[in-house]
Chains A and B, each alone.
Chain A
Amino acid sequence: MKDDGLYTKLLQRGVSRRDFMKFCATMAAALALPSLEVAAIAKALGKGRKPFVVWLEFQDCAGNTESLLRASNPTTAEILLDLISLEYHETLMAPAGKQAVLSRENVVKMQKGKYLVVVEGAIPMKDDGVYCCIGGRTAKDIAREVCGNAAMTIAIGSCASWGGLPAAAPNPTGAVSVQKAVPGIPVVNLPGCPVNTENLTATLVHYLTYGTIPELDSSRRPLFAYGKNIHDLCERRVHFDEGRFVRAWGDDAHRKGWCLYRMGCKGPASYSNCPTIKFNMNTSWPVQAGHGCIACTTEGHWDSMSPFYTKLPNVPGAGMGLTVKKVGAGLAAITAAGFAAHGIRRVVKAKKEKNKSG
């Protein structure tokens, strides 16, 4: 391993090679990669200079920034000190005002085409974008410049991925996603309200290892995270299948952990890995804590999935028929090939073949 890489740094802090390999294995598991990729991750992370990253916040609530702060695998400190060079983040950076803007401008100028941008929050387009100004410039203007010159843009959270809450009806400010505000740039969307920390860190690690983003679905969301239906992953599925439902908050069924479909759970219409990886170091997730899913990774969910306590129509197996019907515009289009494992293995195979011939 070369000097100054993550591995060397970790060694200096007393982390053993064994622990480092274990870390890489955990990353591979999160990305649903076969174990022989662990060595590739280890090699890539051991390399020298950290990639430059600019983190932009627009019409946001900073929930995704807070999600970054919850990172445990790797930790936030490891991400910020060892894995990336986060040159601009308004919530955390030391300088303010013109010195802060200088940090951002330096990256755009001197690392043109090579840096990563993470965008949090929607971008207002109505009235020339006056609803979000930073340093006297509109969000639209900043996004076009910074994302337009980046190697890759990661839209983090539902607001940046598809407009989120500001875009909910009647969308007073003309809020849109990064993709819509800056057409034509390479974007990966990591929706969630906010995004699950693990999905952010795994996507970053994939990019740092391979220089590319993981395989995406038609909404440009990584399949490893958003390829599976919550209803299929849910620990309460057996109760749904057997017709055991909660009918009132706090009833016997609720205490026994039965299915929350009748209490409005939108799990059957939602694609995310929440039931598997959960939140906050695998502590819990909404259904486990007794409240239905609100499908926050689904485009337009604030409008298409509400009222949140009204149950979904026509979910197969709920005794209502065998066909799945779309709920408003909310259901993402999926194909058989869109499911995670198959897709990820294809990426890995393609890379290996490329390496052999390259």
Chain B
Amino acid sequence: MPKIVIDPVTRIEGHLRIEAQVEGGRVVDAWSSGTMFRGIELILKDRDPRDAWLFAQRICGVCTTVHATASVRAVENALEIVIPSTARIIRNLITASQYVQDHVIHFYHLHALDWVDISSALKADPARTSSLAMSLSDWPRSSTTYFRGVQQKIGSLMNSGQLGLFANGYWGHRAYKLSPETNLMVLAHYLEALDWQRDIIRIQALLGAKNPHAQTFLVGGMSLPVDADSQSALNADGIEFLLEKAQQALTFVEQVYMPDLIAIASIYREWASLGRGAGNYLACGEFPGDNVPDTLNLWLPRGIIRNRDLSTVHPLDQSKITEYVTHSWYDYKEGNSASKHPFDGETIQRYTGPKPPYQSLETGQKYSWLKAPRYDDLTMEVGPLSRMLVAYASGHQRVREAVDTVLSKLNVGTDALFSTLGRIAARGIETQITAEMMLSWIDQLGSRMKQGNTRIHNTERWDPSSWPKDAKGFGLHEAPRGCLGHWVRIHDKKIANYQCVVPSTWNGSPRDARGQRGPYEAALINTPVADPNQPLEILRTVHSFDPCMACAVHVVNPAGRELTRVRVV
């Protein structure tokens, strides 16, 4: 039977192609291919390291801010710059607001249509929808009239002959299981979330100048002045605004997102044993509690879970991260089976795939622009699930509470976490607990402001004349989609080498030299496919990873030098 090809995979960021072999109604093998390359790392060579974050941030506009954060951390690590606490809290708030907004958008605008059938929503009884909504949550927008209005609006769209984004969807697919009322309720929330996200992201606009692509980062701190008495700085009014938006964010997560998530998960229970994947989870951790570069004092801890074993959290040693190009469109001087740490070696892009237009990739050969990152030669999954598992296994109290609450609502054990549903649940749990923390971090910022602790930049190493001739460092950051790392070498005040290993490279990676599948590829094994022409079930698992393919771009080191190991500070 010919392979199923999904290209473009939609409702992700970037360009992804999935090919899957189906036998007996189930996926028996799968291949994941990133189909776009830009070469941003080459573009960074010879630039001022203080500019790097501005360039790097444009790796992705969905997970905006994350590459800026990893970049400034890498340069600060290299130049041994300790940032002020106020700057650290501002960065944590920018990260937190990014998680909250990004995860909600993912659930509704990227993932929901895999589970929600719009054609069924049109058959719902608005009064029963209202009762359902009110039984699940105190959210005020839940009247019969309201749901009828949403139904009429979508109904007239579907009848207009101009279905727009909903045209040619898999409506009526037998894998859709929600009641018409649940479908209508979630659809209404899809529309509400569109309004909500643009409003609460103003937290980032205040702290970061604008969204997407914040512009207040600096190597050494942040450029946002903090001063209770100034109209040109973050002042008391600003703190009030942040608190208001953060509360608005939390309320929506508690009263709309989480109840919808539980409602959907409880109907699609079999997805707790699908999409299991390789079973190894890596988290570099996030939300530093002090200013030491690459501190381990992190609100979400660092660590590795192997083989789904929650009794042990293994330490993460970034020197064990390597990348293969065996099945990727790059060459290594050392040969096609070699794997290299981000700091080592030379990599050259070379497309050897089929000449476009093409029907299928040569999946036995090189088939992706993504390299294959491995840790200790193992496939690692990254993302909210990895973070929640590591936190859970590390005894993080709030994470334990939140995870156990969801597991008990769904009447499943921890084994259910290692699945497609597990990724969805972990993302929701992380959103809720992060939204809670935002309020306390804003309070902290407000207190510091009142006490006059307003230093936002360490200026000691701003001037390049204060730098050593050679320096190297790395910055790790948990982006919404998972662990992100930037590695930089600075020579004579300019970037000599810049490397990124990004979450969707970990997750979307092709095979390595040993033929080990990447996380998407492994997770797709055993996925049921009711209709090969409408591979909805494959999309469900791929989307559970929240792919971000522009991020998964390869990093090229143009210099051929052998490099020493990265100094861990």
Looking at the complex, which one of A94, A128, A138, A249 makes contact with B168 (CB distance below 8 Å)? A94
Q: How far is the CA of A260 from the CA of B12 in the complex (A)?
A: 38
Q: Any chain A CB within 8 A of the CB of B58? A: yes
The reply to whether B58 and A63 form a contact with Cβ atoms under 8 Å apart is yes
In the assembled complex, the CB of B495 is this many whole angstroms from the nearest CB of chain A, namely 11
The reply to whether A280 and B457 form a contact with Cβ atoms under 8 Å apart is no
Q: How far is the CA of A250 from the CA of B224 in the complex (A)?
A: 8
Closest residue to B201 on the A side, CB-wise?
Answer: A280
Q: How far is the CA of A50 from the CA of B157 in the complex (A)?
A: 11
Interface residues on B, range: 35 or more
* Given A136-B358, A257-B231, CB of A97 within 8 Å of CB of B6: yes
Q: How far is the CA of A137 from the CA of B36 in the complex (A)?
A: 12
- Per DSSP, chain B at the interface is loop
The interface stretch among A19-27, A83-91, A222-230, A347-355 is A83-91
Looking at the complex, which one of B37, B205, B216 makes contact with A283 (CB distance below 8 Å)? B205
Q: How far is the CA of A97 from the CA of B224 in the complex (A)?
A: 44
- Complex contacts, A13 vs chain B, CB 8 Å: 149, 153
The reply to whether B54 and A96 form a contact with Cβ atoms under 8 Å apart is no
Q: How far is the CA of A130 from the CA of B37 in the complex (A)?
A: 9
- Complex contacts, A249 vs chain B, CB 8 Å: 218, 220-221, 223, 456-457, 459, 462
* Given A85-B162, A137-B357, A165-B38, CB of A102 within 8 Å of CB of B168: yes
- Complex contacts, B317 vs chain A, CB 8 Å: none
The reply to whether B38 and A52 form a contact with Cβ atoms under 8 Å apart is no
- Complex contacts, B64 vs chain A, CB 8 Å: 63, 66
The reply to whether B550 and A130 form a contact with Cβ atoms under 8 Å apart is no
Q: Any chain B CB within 8 A of the CB of A324? A: no
Q: How far is the CA of A175 from the CA of B36 in the complex (A)?
A: 12
Looking at the complex, which one of A58, A62, A255 makes contact with B230 (CB distance below 8 Å)? A255
Interface residues of A in 145-180 (CB under 8 A from B): 164-166, 168-173, 175
Q: Any chain A CB within 8 A of the CB of B194? A: yes
Interface size on A, residues (CB 8 A): 98
Closest residue to B208 on the A side, CB-wise?
Answer: A289
The reply to whether B7 and A289 form a contact with Cβ atoms under 8 Å apart is no
- Complex contacts, B152 vs chain A, CB 8 Å: 12
B residues touching A (Cβ–Cβ < 8 Å)?
Answer: 5-15, 35-40, 42-43, 47-48, 50-51, 54-55, 58-62, 64, 105, 109-110, 113, 118, 149, 152-153, 157, 160, 162-170, 191, 194-195, 197-199, 201-202, 204-213, 215-216, 218, 220-221, 223-227, 230-233, 349, 351, 353-359, 369, 454-457, 459, 462, 534-535, 539, 550, 556
A residues touching B (Cβ–Cβ < 8 Å)?
Answer: 4, 9, 12-13, 49-50, 52, 57-67, 69-72, 75-77, 80-81, 84-87, 89-103, 106, 124, 127-138, 141, 164-166, 168-173, 175, 193-194, 248-250, 254-257, 278-281, 283-286, 288-291, 294, 302, 306-309
| 15 A–B pairs (Cβ distance < 8 Å), ordered by A | A59-B38, A60-B550, A66-B61, A93-B10, A94-B113, A95-B168, A97-B8, A134-B15, A137-B357, A165-B43, A250-B455, A250-B457, A284-B210, A285-B209, A288-B232
